[in-house]
Amino acid sequence: MFFINNLNGAGVGLKFGIVLGTKEPEKAWNAFRFAVTALKTNHDVKVFLINEGVEAENIKDEKYNVKEQIDSFIKNKGQILACGTCLKSRQKEGANICPISTMEDLLKLVEESDKILTFG
Protein backbone atom coordinates (compact mmCIF):
# COMPACT_ATOMS: atom_id res chain seq x y z
CA MET A 1 0.00 0.00 0.00
CA PHE A 2 1.27 3.48 -0.79
CA PHE A 3 -0.05 7.02 -0.59
CA ILE A 4 0.33 9.78 -3.12
CA ASN A 5 0.99 13.00 -1.26
CA ASN A 6 1.36 15.18 -4.34
CA LEU A 7 -2.31 15.48 -5.29
CA ASN A 8 -2.17 18.66 -7.29
CA GLY A 9 1.24 18.31 -8.90
CA ALA A 10 2.68 21.31 -7.03
CA GLY A 11 4.44 19.45 -4.23
CA VAL A 12 1.62 20.13 -1.78
CA GLY A 13 -0.65 17.49 -0.30
CA LEU A 14 -4.21 18.10 0.76
CA LYS A 15 -5.83 21.41 1.57
CA PHE A 16 -7.25 21.30 5.09
CA GLY A 17 -9.77 23.79 6.41
CA ILE A 18 -10.10 23.81 10.18
CA VAL A 19 -13.01 25.52 11.88
CA LEU A 20 -12.38 26.26 15.56
CA GLY A 21 -15.49 27.28 17.48
CA THR A 22 -14.40 26.97 21.11
CA LYS A 23 -12.05 28.53 23.61
CA GLU A 24 -11.70 25.26 25.54
CA PRO A 25 -7.94 24.92 26.00
CA GLU A 26 -7.56 21.23 25.13
CA LYS A 27 -9.70 21.44 21.98
CA ALA A 28 -8.02 24.60 20.71
CA TRP A 29 -4.57 23.15 21.50
CA ASN A 30 -5.34 19.96 19.59
CA ALA A 31 -6.77 21.88 16.62
CA PHE A 32 -3.55 23.84 16.22
CA ARG A 33 -1.36 20.81 17.00
CA PHE A 34 -3.04 18.96 14.14
CA ALA A 35 -2.67 22.01 11.91
CA VAL A 36 1.06 22.28 12.63
CA THR A 37 1.54 18.56 12.00
CA ALA A 38 -0.25 18.86 8.65
CA LEU A 39 1.83 21.88 7.61
CA LYS A 40 5.05 20.07 8.50
CA THR A 41 4.05 17.22 6.16
CA ASN A 42 3.47 19.52 3.17
CA HIS A 43 -0.25 20.06 3.45
CA ASP A 44 -1.90 23.46 3.11
CA VAL A 45 -3.88 24.52 6.19
CA LYS A 46 -6.19 27.43 6.97
CA VAL A 47 -7.91 27.91 10.32
CA PHE A 48 -11.17 29.83 10.61
CA LEU A 49 -12.01 31.05 14.12
CA ILE A 50 -15.72 31.37 14.81
CA ASN A 51 -17.90 31.70 17.93
CA GLU A 52 -15.70 31.50 21.04
CA GLY A 53 -12.83 30.34 18.85
CA VAL A 54 -11.98 33.99 18.14
CA GLU A 55 -10.69 34.09 21.73
CA ALA A 56 -8.14 31.30 21.14
CA GLU A 57 -5.08 33.55 21.22
CA ASN A 58 -5.97 34.68 24.75
CA ILE A 59 -6.35 31.19 26.25
CA LYS A 60 -4.20 30.77 29.34
CA ASP A 61 -3.78 27.21 30.57
CA GLU A 62 -0.89 25.53 32.37
CA LYS A 63 -1.38 22.16 30.67
CA TYR A 64 -2.38 23.23 27.13
CA ASN A 65 -0.20 26.02 25.72
CA VAL A 66 -2.45 27.19 22.89
CA LYS A 67 -0.43 30.35 22.19
CA GLU A 68 2.68 28.24 21.57
CA GLN A 69 0.79 26.11 19.02
CA ILE A 70 -0.65 29.20 17.32
CA ASP A 71 2.83 30.71 17.06
CA SER A 72 4.17 27.47 15.58
CA PHE A 73 1.26 27.38 13.11
CA ILE A 74 2.06 30.90 11.90
CA LYS A 75 5.80 30.19 11.80
CA ASN A 76 5.07 27.22 9.53
CA LYS A 77 3.10 29.45 7.12
CA GLY A 78 -0.41 28.62 8.31
CA GLN A 79 -3.19 31.12 7.74
CA ILE A 80 -5.75 32.18 10.36
CA LEU A 81 -9.06 33.89 9.59
CA ALA A 82 -11.54 35.14 12.19
CA CYS A 83 -15.26 35.84 12.00
CA GLY A 84 -15.71 39.61 12.08
CA THR A 85 -19.17 39.45 13.66
CA CYS A 86 -17.85 37.18 16.42
CA LEU A 87 -14.95 39.56 17.06
CA LYS A 88 -17.24 42.60 17.15
CA SER A 89 -19.63 40.95 19.63
CA ARG A 90 -16.64 40.58 21.97
CA GLN A 91 -15.31 44.11 21.33
CA LYS A 92 -12.22 42.58 19.69
CA GLU A 93 -10.42 43.52 16.50
CA GLY A 94 -8.54 41.52 13.91
CA ALA A 95 -4.75 41.47 13.87
CA ASN A 96 -2.06 41.10 11.23
CA ILE A 97 -1.89 37.37 11.94
CA CYS A 98 -5.67 37.05 12.07
CA PRO A 99 -7.58 39.36 9.73
CA ILE A 100 -11.29 40.05 10.13
CA SER A 101 -13.16 37.69 7.83
CA THR A 102 -16.73 37.08 6.69
CA MET A 103 -19.08 34.18 6.03
CA GLU A 104 -18.07 34.53 2.39
CA ASP A 105 -14.47 33.84 3.45
CA LEU A 106 -15.61 30.77 5.38
CA LEU A 107 -17.58 29.58 2.36
CA LYS A 108 -14.50 30.03 0.15
CA LEU A 109 -12.40 28.06 2.65
CA VAL A 110 -14.93 25.21 2.55
CA GLU A 111 -15.13 25.26 -1.26
CA GLU A 112 -11.33 25.25 -1.69
CA SER A 113 -10.53 22.62 0.95
CA ASP A 114 -10.13 18.92 0.29
CA LYS A 115 -11.06 18.18 3.93
CA ILE A 116 -12.82 20.20 6.63
CA LEU A 117 -12.29 19.52 10.32
CA THR A 118 -14.24 21.15 13.10
CA PHE A 119 -13.18 21.54 16.71
CA GLY A 120 -15.64 22.68 19.35
Is the residue at 76 inside a domain?
Answer: yes
Is the residue at 7 inside a domain?
Answer: no
Domains identified in the chain, total number: 1
Is the residue at 4 inside a domain?
Answer: no
Domain range for 63 is 15-119
pLDDT in tens, 18-76: 999 999 999 999 999 999 999 999 999 999 999 999 999 999 999 999 999 999 999 99
Is the residue at 64 inside a domain?
Answer: yes
DSSP state string for the chain: ------SSSSS---EEEEEE----HHHHHHHHHHHHHHHHTT-EEEEEE-GGGGGGGG---SS--HHHHHHHHHHTT-EEEEEHHHHHHTT---BTTB-EE-HHHHHHHHHH-SEEEEE-
What CATH number has the domain bearing residue 67?
Answer: 3.40.1260.10
Is the residue at 27 inside a domain?
Answer: yes
Is the residue at 6 inside a domain?
Answer: no
pLDDT in tens, 84-118: 999 999 988 876 667 899 999 999 999 999 999 99
The amino acid present at 18, given as its one-letter code, is I
Is the residue at 10 inside a domain?
Answer: no
